[in-house]
Amino acid sequence: MTCGVLEGRAGSGTYVAEPRQRVRVVRSSAREQPEGSPFRADMKAVGKHGGWESRTDAKVPAPAEIAARLGIAEGELCIRTSYEFLADGRPVQLSTGWEPYDLTSGTLVVLPGGGPHAGAGVVNRMAVIGITVSHAVEQPEPRQATAEEASLLGIQKAALVTHIRRTYYSDQGRPVETADIVVPAAHCEIVYEIPINR
């Protein structure tokens, strides 16, 4: 069921789930904070403690789709970071981000989850190395969760999720990071805030 009444646990079975209030996830240019994590700021705004667990793999060859999104050749080296985002200790979002290795190699921001700028977000980390991120493009689409996603998010296999393909661009038009974000419909509502320039 996608309404969250039942909860599957990998290798254990299906259990009656504790009711969960849906968390509002705001997609907005205003979410980029000058200090700290955009996700933590989002969660604080809705009265939750935001955190995450992450794993970074260095020098991963870019698969064809990721290479196309980053404007690099297939097989070029990237930094890949997988995140499990938590609200009050419970998973609410998954994300796998890719950055071209040649962009950040040899700098203090080469590892998104390590060093003095760990967890600062793409915009702030790129600013440290003199790259101005001017905009992001997001492509959301609904689909069913994979078995791995369902297990990580504590939802049933094939439950509805929103898959967002996001790419950040520098003011020179170069893609500097691309990510696949997975948000479970049963646990989150996605709200887009669109600034109006007058």
SS (H, E, C) 125-155: HHHHCCCCEEEEEEEEEEEECCHHHHHHHCC
The residue whose two tokens read 């590892």 is 111
Give dist(CA 81, CA 45) in Å, integer: 25
If one compares 18 and 168, the residue with the highest pLDDT of the two is 168
- Bridge partners, 134 (sequence order): none
For 63-83, the pLDDT digits (tens) are: 999 999 999 999 999 999 999
pTM of structure: 0.83
Distance from chain centroid for Cα 79: 14
- Condensed to tens digits (0 to 9), the pLDDT of residues 8-52 reads 656 677 766 665 677 767 777 655 555 667 778 778 877 889 888
Nearest to 134 by CA among 191, 179, 91, 174: 174
Over residues 144-156, the mean pLDDT reads: 94
Q: Which residue has the higher pLDDT, 104 or 25?
A: 104
